[in-house]
Amino acid sequence: MKKYFLVLFSLLIFTPIAFSAERQIQCKVVGISDGDTLTCLLERTPIKIRLQYIDAPESAQAFGNRAKQALANLTFKKNVTIHISGYDKYQRSLGVVYDDKRNINLALVEMGMAWAYRQTQPIYQQAQQQAQANKIGLWRDPNPIDPADWRASKRSDTTQNLQKLPNNLPLGIVDCSKQLSCKEMERRGFSYTQVQQHFQQCGWKERDGNKDGIPCNRLYRKAQQR
């Protein structure tokens, strides 16, 4: 019996205990940072929440501002319940947000305002597939780019890295033999994603006259207003 208790004590000391770290809070949404990040007030303490399982377009991407507005429409100044499971590298709480009726994270994917992470729960992947099939939200763009790949392309301006994007997110054929002006790209109905691809792959630095890293500023501003 003594030996049994010694073994049990050793297991308790040296074996990681797999208790769930998930906790649930109720709070009021007081700020929207972007399409997948909000700030919630809990007993006068602001908590930044990164919506789990999804990734909304960045502000400079097509549909970035619309995704932010969609999250605001669903949650801003409303009381919500959040299931928090941990923290990301920026020390934001990772959670799934619920109102009285639905899972807000899932709703954004269903509305075509966010991507499902590649490694995520099946329900989010299924919602994305449905939104893609129906060309809802960002899926109306002829060449949507996963925010993770977009961020990677911003970190490196090389053609080699752009060509490593997954096959299921095609960049399309970019013909660099004839330089197109911003006005010509607008006339041809290019999305801002396509403008960025030409800028990055063809090295048309003259399209960025003020050298701020944003080509064709007029088209960029139009994309922000979508």
Q: Take residue 160 and report the two structure tokens written for it.
A: 């080699």
Does the annotation count 102 as an active-site position?
no
CA 62 to mean position of chain CA atoms: 12
User: Under 8 Å CB-to-CB from 140, ≥6 apart: which residues?
Assistant: 112
Q: Which residue in the list 22, 23, 43, 58 is annotated as catalytic?
A: 58
User: Catalytic: which of 22, 50, 102, 207?
Assistant: 50
Type of residue found at 69? Q
Catalytic residue of the set 23, 92, 118, 140: 92
Please state, in angstroms and rounded to a whole number, the distance separating the CA atoms of residues 185 and 132. 25
Segment holding 210, helix H or strand E? none
Q: Residue 58 catalytic?
A: yes
Residue type, 95: G
Alpha carbons 52 and 111: distance in angstroms, whole number = 16
Does residue 187 carry a catalytic annotation? no
Which residues are catalytically annotated? 50, 58, 92
